[in-house]
Structure 1
Amino acid sequence: MKILAYTKYDSIPVLCAIAHAGYLVALFLLFPHTPLWIMLILGFIYSVSISWNINGISHNFIHNPYFKWKPLNYAFSWLLSVTMGFSQQFYDLVHHKHHQGNSDRPDETGETVDPISIYRHGHDDLPENVWTYVFLSFFRDDPKQIYSEIKKRKPFNAYFGVFEIASWVALAVIAGIFNWKFLLFYIPFYYLGHSLSYLNGYYRHFGGNPDEPIAWGVSSYGKLYNAIWFNNGYHAEHHYKPKVHWTKMNQLHEQIRQEQIKAGVHVIKPPHALGFLDSNQPKPNAEVETQSAPTA
């Protein structure tokens, strides 16, 4: 019986997701017996791993579910949800709306199609300040609205999304009953992790062109980055062809390279989460200095 829907390589993110869940359990078990300075390091690693999972494992799962059997996909969705403290089903809707808008600018009413567009809370058709986007975006989601939109099309997914959130809350309460100090330790790193995910998302579009499909996203072609983050760096390519499997992103890049050059696709050298370190980032009211050729 075939378990994986697309390729044997999807076993890698699946195993990584299981390991991620195990890491969170290990944090809880280690907490009473480990010096605080070590726990702070481990907590920061958990924060980074939330962004790693959301933008790699969880993200690729949305576009190409890993399993052939639907119940396994729901089980995996649940695992991702309780590991990172959100609903994978809710994320699915938000992310598909992100692809409908592609970080669009506000219309005449001030609204964007993309609920997480970097322009949504900006001014004068400019992106929002990176740090307000990073640290406030977590609080801007409207779970009731997301639930209602999912329920209109897929009622079971809406209910399952609530179950995912309820499961995470229940597990957090149980953890708090056993060790309330762990919750005080966990919550700041949990919030930081989701903020780091928004930092990653910001630089996947900062310098992109909302009016040019092939240049909607910003790419980063570091080999180590893309190996660890499941080709998250090929973001211009991904927005141009979102159904292309994560293992095929470099091939897609090679196919459209000349079109990208003509369109002036913005490319940065560091990983997206460190995009603020790139010397080629646009300044307010200035055009992006495009590279002569995006290279992998």
Structure 2
Amino acid sequence: MGLLRYSADRRTLAIVGSWFVVEAALWSIDGHPWLTAGLFSAACVGAFLAAVATHNTIHCPVFHSRTLEALWKCVLTLAYGHPIGSFVPGHNLSHHRHLETRADVMRTSKARARWNLINIVTFFPSISGAMLRSEIGYVRFAWRRRARWRRQLVLESCVLVVAALALAAVDYKRLLWCVVIPHVYAAWGVVTMNLLQHDGADTDSPHNHSRSFIGKTVNWLTFNNGFHAVHHLRPGLHWSLLPAAHERLVVPHTDPRLIEPSLPAYLFRTYVFPGRRVRFDGRPVVLVEAGADAPWYGKYAPATAQTEGSSS
């Protein structure tokens, strides 16, 4: 038996590992503006891909060994810029279980701008406060109830704080633009994907609740993150198995207008020109009142193994 539960995660390790190489190069380079710009862009993209890997890991563990898995989560914490244990409440327990309801902290009805381009830019900052309050509330609730999760969260937090303090002691300005800004971009990107995947879908439908993007290049880079509908149907399924499951569980039942062949084309059409906020069937999105967030974690903790992988 190998170290990895799925051999496809060699790609995950390689892509996340490359982020550290890019960061080392970006930190050390001076006097080459074009090279610096290229490395900075790569650092932002790499941090976003690490965020996607974080999402995958909390649903399906990478390693057989609990010790290696715990260390891997610390690596992801450094690449993503946030303790990944805190990813669990807002995503697994709120979003997956209560999609687009008031118990879904990142529901798309919180995006209220008439000009759709504004929504994709401001969605993340507009819900950041609610996400933080949700995380803090869940930590308080689960602190005494979930000992292993608590220990892992403390470990990840300590690793992140020690690394940040060490880098700040060397050069705090370089820390901000080399590391912190890519981390902010990663958080913006992974949260904003929620708009692309659910805005204008029929979240009351058992089949038309999510939008999928099936472009090969995007899915190779993002570990099949485009196959989102089947991910909601089978949240514990490893990412390498999603394309086959998509053909079996999504294609026969889902409206084909929710299966997008090209992510760039969708982005341009939806947020640039004509840039209208419409449902998948072409009708305008009718926004319900976003309202206050509803409590969710007290009733449903601890999480099930299917939606949380090994993070319990």
What TM-score do you get using the length of structure 2 for normalisation? 0.77
Structure 2 contact 215–261 (Cα < 8 Å) conserved: yes
CA contact (8 A) 1:207 1:281 kept: no
Q: Which residue of 1 aligns with 2:288?
A: none
In structure 2, the partner of 1:168 is 160
Change (3 A) 1:231 1:43: same
Are 2:107 and 1:117 equivalent residues in the alignment?
yes
1:204 corresponding residue in structure 2: 197
Q: Distance in 1 between matches of 2:213 and 2:153?
A: 32
| Farther off after superposition, 200-209 or 21-30 | 21-30
Aligned partner (choices 225, 235, 248) of residue 228 of structure 2: 235
Paired residue secondary structure (2:207): helix
- 1:278 and 2:269 aligned: yes
Unpaired runs of 5+ residues, structure 1, are 106-111, 291-296
CA pair 43-176 structure 1, distance change in 2 beyond 3 A = same
The answer to whether the 8 A contact 2:50-2:79 is kept is no
5+ residue gaps, structure 2: 283-312
Contact 1:175 1:183 in 2 (8 A): yes
Q: Does 1:84 align with 2:80?
A: yes
Map of 2:150 onto structure 1: 158
1:137–1:198 contact (8 Å) kept in structure 2: no
Residue 120 (structure 1) shift: 4.2
**Map of 2:3 onto structure 1:** 3
- More divergent stretch after superposition (200-209 vs 136-145): 136-145
- Relative contact order, higher structure (CA 8 A, sep 6+): 2
- The range that moved more, 40-49 or 78-87, is 40-49
C-alpha contact (below 8 Å) 1:64/1:245 kept by paired residues: yes
Q: Deviations over 1:80-136 (max 9, x none)?
A: 00122101111123221221112x13xxxxxx222222224659xxxx933221333
Q: Give yes or no for the alignment of 1:134 onto 2:124.
A: yes
Partner of residue 289, structure 2 = none
Written as runs of structure 1 = structure 2, the 5 A alignment for 1:26-41 is 26-30=25-29, 33-41=30-38
Of 219, 223, 237 in structure 2, the residue corresponding to residue 226 of structure 1 is 219
Counterpart secondary structure, 2:252: helix
Paired position in structure 2 for 1:62: 58
Letter in 2 for 1:63: H
Partner of 1:73: 69
Task: Tell me the number of residue pairs that the alignment of Structure 1 and Structure 2 aligns.
Answer: 272
Which position in structure 1 is the counterpart of 2:39?
42
Are residues 120 and 162 of structure 1, via their aligned partners in 2, closer, same or farther at CA, if it must alter by over 3 Å? Answer: farther
Cα-Cα RMSD: 2.8
2:255 is equivalent to residue 258 of structure 1: no
2:16 aligned partner: 17
Question: Matches of 2:243 and 2:193 in 1, distance apart?
Answer: 20
Residues 134-183 of structure 1: CA deviation (Å, up to 9, x unaligned): 33344442342232244254223223213312322221221121123302
2:233 maps to a residue whose letter is Y
> In 2 relative to 1, CA 101–162 (structure 1 residues): closer, same or farther, beyond 3 Å?
same
**Shift of residue 276, structure 1, vs aligned partner:** 2.9
Partners of 2:201 and 2:144 in 1: CA distance: 32
Whole-Å Cα distance in 2 between the matches of residues 208 and 281 of structure 1?
Answer: 18
Give the distance between the partners of 1:214 and 1:50, measured in 2 at CA: 32
In 1, the alpha carbon distance for the partners of 2:119 and 2:158 equals 33
TM (normalized to structure 1)?
0.81
Q: Is the 8 A contact 1:281 1:288 kept in 2?
A: no
Amino acid across the alignment from 1:132: T
Counterparts of 1:275 and 1:147 in 2: how far apart (Å)?
37
